[in-house]
Chains A and B, each alone.
Chain A
Amino acid sequence: MRMRLTGALRAAWGVASALALVSCAGIRLVSDYDVTTDQQVTALQRAVDDTLVALKGATAPGCFYVSHVQFYQTTRSAVQSLRLRNEARGPKNTQTTSELGELSTALQAFEQLHQNASGGTPPACMAADRIELDRSGINAIFRAILTLELAKKRNDATASH
């Protein structure tokens, strides 16, 4: 009887010790929701999508890369700013930081396609169906970023205690 009681107490203290590692605020495996990231990514998605849709319907010479240099510079700057902000939010935010890296890569690839089309012989507008392929991929990246950011709101009441 004494041995069973001691064994049960030992097990109870084992569980209690494990629980003692956790604070009353609960654990956090992912960083908190950031309203600035949410708003800036949403605005950037709108700006990029508007440009891609406009490009689909554009004709020469307005469709050429040279007419959109400012767009690419502004977009690069916006993504870089978001990456910096999210890097600063710490190691529990690596998924968002990496997603922004993928956005940067995709936009660079699109910019290269645009340059190539405009620099061809003869210079040409990017075909609407090609732009749509890339628009789909770029929007998938934006969706991934926003889906995760919104999930960080943790609306579930069991998220912390």
Chain B
Amino acid sequence: MALDPIQLATTMLSAALGVLKKKTPEIQQYAETEFKKIAETIATIAKMVAAGQMGEEEAKLHLQIQASASRAVLLCVEGLGLLAAEAAINAALASVKDLVNAALPFKLL
């Protein structure tokens, strides 16, 4: 039985998009929540410096902690993005597994 590449591509895309549509908002929500907290903390540090309540050396160390937090959040987003891509690709492959295996003389997937 001949494989229809257009049908395969449509099926795979639908499966992949279904996964991405579910996972992307979760990642966005996480990033927004975390960066809002970090931004508020940085603003507080800036206010303290402006009010003369905190010196430069101390402020730099507090900001270093917030910078590390920002980088950690971005690393998490990167990892979550890779997991989402992985799930999307695997969902796409799973969606055509039976179709592909039935069309070939051996089990490909």
Interface residues of A (CB under 8 A from B): 5, 8-9, 11-12, 14-16, 19-20, 22, 24, 26-30, 95-96, 98-99, 102-103, 105-106, 109-110, 112-113, 116, 130, 133-134, 136-138, 140-141, 143-145, 147-148, 151-152, 154, 156, 158-161
Report whether B41 and A154 are in contact in the complex, using a CB–CB cutoff of 8 Å. no
B3 contacts chain A at the CB level, 8 A cutoff: yes
Report whether A156 and B19 are in contact in the complex, using a CB–CB cutoff of 8 Å. yes
Closest 6 CB pairs of A and B: A12-B3, A161-B94, A95-B79, A158-B91, A144-B76, A144-B72
Contact pick for A151, options B2, B54, B83, CB 8 Å: B83
**Interface SS majority for chain A:** helix
Report whether B3 and A16 are in contact in the complex, using a CB–CB cutoff of 8 Å. yes
Task: Give the distance in Å from the alpha carbon of A143 to the alpha carbon of B75 in the complex.
Answer: 12
CB contact under 8 A between A16 and B104, given known A8-B4, A133-B45, A147-B30: yes
Q: How large is the interface on B (under 10, 10 to 19, 20 to 34, 35 or more residues)?
A: 35 or more
Report whether B69 and A106 are in contact in the complex, using a CB–CB cutoff of 8 Å. yes
Query: With A19-B100, A29-B82 given, can you name 14 additional A-B contacts, CB distance below 8 Å?
Result: A8-B2, A12-B3, A26-B90, A95-B75, A102-B69, A103-B68, A130-B58, A134-B62, A140-B73, A141-B69, A145-B72, A154-B83, A154-B87, A160-B90
Name the distance in Å between A152's Cβ and chain B's nearest Cβ.
Answer: 7
Among B56-109, those with CB < 8 Å from A are 57-58, 61-62, 64-66, 68-69, 71-73, 75-76, 78-80, 82-83, 85-87, 89-91, 93-94, 96-97, 100, 103-104, 107-109
